[in-house]
Each structure stands twice: as C-alpha cells, then as structure tokens.
C-alpha cells in the first residue's frame, strides 16, 4: 500500500530500521531466546486465537512493559534480549518496534503478523 499519506511514510521509515521476521520464522522465535509479544487486543485474541508462548502486552502499555529500565516492565524484558512484536497483520507492530528501538530495545516484528503465521499453520499445522 502506497498512498502518499504521512502514516504510510512513517511506516516505511519504521520498517527501514527493522530486520523483520518472515511469518515462517515465528515458531523458532517462540521457542528460542527471543521475547515474543502479542500486541493484539483481547477481542482479536478471542476471535482469532492465542499465540502460544507469547507474552501478551497490549499496544497501549508496550513501552512501559518492555523498557528494561522501567519499574513496570514484565520480568521477561531484560536488556539485550531481542523483542519480536506480533499484531494482526504487521502494521502496528512495525511502528511499535521502531518506538522500542528509540528506547534502546533490540526490537523487530513479524511480516504479515498473526494472520500470516496462522495462514501458514492452516496449511502446515506442524
């Protein structure tokens, strides 16, 4: 999607800073050393399914829960640990990952988000 809007320019700039994971690499991230965070709202998780192994932190709380220097961080958020963000389709997660980079957090997201991962699993439930 290229519509010339300010948000499209921001998304493009955010993604230029990220080493985005393909949806096929999400299972490895979930079982490896990465901290995978599901940003999706509760309604989406109920409607489309949970992401097993991910820590749920809705977007509104993300920076406070993931900044290793924050007193409100989740215990899993430690300095030096890569954070992989997952949203519905990979748009909000790209913007959020860029925000985390600004805080000094090693962050990226999943290209296509939960929908792309779920589509792969529908074909190959593995």
118 close to 50: Cβ distance less than 8 angstroms:
no
Q: Is residue 70 part of a domain?
A: yes
pLDDT digits (tens, 9 = 90+) for 14-50: 999 999 999 999 999 999 999 999 999 999 999 999 9
What is the domain extent for residue 58?
6-123
**Does the pLDDT at position 1 exceed 80?**
no
Residues in contact with 12: Cβ distance below 8 Å, sequence separation at least 6, in sequence order: none
Total domains present in the chain: 1
Report if residue 54 sits inside a domain. Answer: yes
Specify if 64 maps to a domain. Answer: yes
Answer yes or no: is 47 within a domain: yes
- What CATH number is attached to the domain comprising 100? 3.40.250.10
Q: What is the pLDDT of residues 3-16, one digit of tens each?
A: 789 999 999 999 99
Q: What is the pLDDT of residue 21?
A: 98
Q: pTM of the predicted model, to two decimals?
A: 0.93
In a domain, 1, yes or no: no
pLDDT in tens, 69-105: 999 999 999 999 999 999 999 999 999 999 999 999 9
SS3 letters across the chain: CCCCCHHHHHHHHHHHCCCCEEHHHHHHHHHCCCEEEECCCHHHHHHHCCCCCCEECCHHHHHHHHCCCCCCCCCCCCCCCCEEEECCCCCHHHHHHHHHHHCCCCEEEEECHHHHHHHHHHHCCC
């Amino acid at each position: 999607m290229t519509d010339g809007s300010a948000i499209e320019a921001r998304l493009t700039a955010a993604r230029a800073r990220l080493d985005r994971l393909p949806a096929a690499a999400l299972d490895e991230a979930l079982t490896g050393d990465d901290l995978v965070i599901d940003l999706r709202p509760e309604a989406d998780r109920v409607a489309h399914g949970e992401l097993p192994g991910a820590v749920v932190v809705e977007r509104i709380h993300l920076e406070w829960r993931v900044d290793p220097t924050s007193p409100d961080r989740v215990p899993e958020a430690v300095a030096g640990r890569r954070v992989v963000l997952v949203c519905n389709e990979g748009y909000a997660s790209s913007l959020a990952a860029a925000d985390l980079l600004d805080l000094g957090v090693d962050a990226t997201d999943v290209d296509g988000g939960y929908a792309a991962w779920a589509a792969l699993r529908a074909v190959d439930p593995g």
